[in-house]
Structure 1
């Protein structure tokens, strides 16, 4: 973990039906529990909220079914533990029940401590990842990049020979 940077995370999805539709009921009924789990997880810093305790009312591009999830964590292991080794995983495994299939729905990137990312910034990171693949500017769990140090990388001695 870097004392100067935190990890931002976005995932977006287009619901298969409105949030109050019976098809989406299990997802909607679990939002408060899953969000509370995130907030009580080690390494959690911040998450996007709309008028309620979640971001389901913050439609992307005016589409009420296209919703964001945006959060900030201390580091990759903290977010990974929440995503893959907590009660969150049971809902995540059911994503196909609630959301339409979508490529490039998640991105990770480093932000300075105290920076609160916007949905617009997050969408830019998704577009970067789609256009260029994983880079230090936007990456995935499978292809992580370390926090920026602001210092030049020193070459290994044998690279100079």
Structure 2
């Protein structure tokens, strides 16, 4: 059975201790709990390997790497829970990233994706656009897998 892997990269506009970031950092635990309590949630990376992220993507980025039962559950979390309010405020906290920085792909249900894997999927999406191996939220219906 396949499950959905998700990687999202953001770059804060201000340092963590800048009061303009308080809204984001004060909501982080709440939003993570929303995700973890969602019926479609499976796993998220808790390592927060900043050194590797800096190496792969450049200094100062933050990321989410997670697993979901399917794209519908992931979209439900993104757009139909209080997470959406924070997502819409993202422009206040994060730089606009013009190249692909969110990628989805299918993995076997016993597979835990790595940051190296996520990096490869982002690079694939940049290189060839949405495909069965690396796609976006907007293109997800083209690459849906029925379990």
Q: Distance in 1 between matches of 2:134 and 2:146?
A: 12
1:25 counterpart residue number:
22
Compare the two structures and name the one with the higher helix fraction.
2
- 1:100 — aligned with what? 95
Query: 1:77 and 1:17 mapped to 2: Cα distance?
Result: 33
| TM-score (norm. length: structure 2) | 0.89
Do the aligned residues in 1 keep the contact of 2:9 with 2:63 (CA within 8 Å)? Answer: yes
Q: Does 1:140 align with 2:132?
A: no
Where do 1:99-118 residues align within 5 Å? 99-103=94-98, 104-118=100-114
**In structure 2, what is the equivalent of residue 8 of structure 1?**
5
TM norm structure 1:
0.82
Q: Secondary structure at the match of 2:50?
A: coil
Query: Matches of 2:59 and 2:39 in 1, distance apart?
Result: 32
Deviations 1:67-99 (A, max 9, x none): 111110000000000001101001100111111
Q: Which structure: larger Rg?
A: 1
Matched, 1:58 2:50: yes
Aligned residues: 141
Higher relative contact order (CA 8 A, sep 6+): 2
Decide whether the 8 Å contact of 1:125 with 1:137 is kept in 2. yes
8 A Cα contact 1:17 1:65, kept in partner: no
Unmatched 5+ stretches in structure 1: 150-161
Q: Does residue 116 of structure 2 align to residue 120 of structure 1?
A: yes
Deviation at 1:20, TM superposition (A): 2.3
Partners of 1:18 and 1:64 within 8 A in 2: no
Write out per-residue CA displacement over residues 46-66 of structure 1, whole angstroms, 9 at most, x where no aligned residue: 00113xxxx3x6251255521
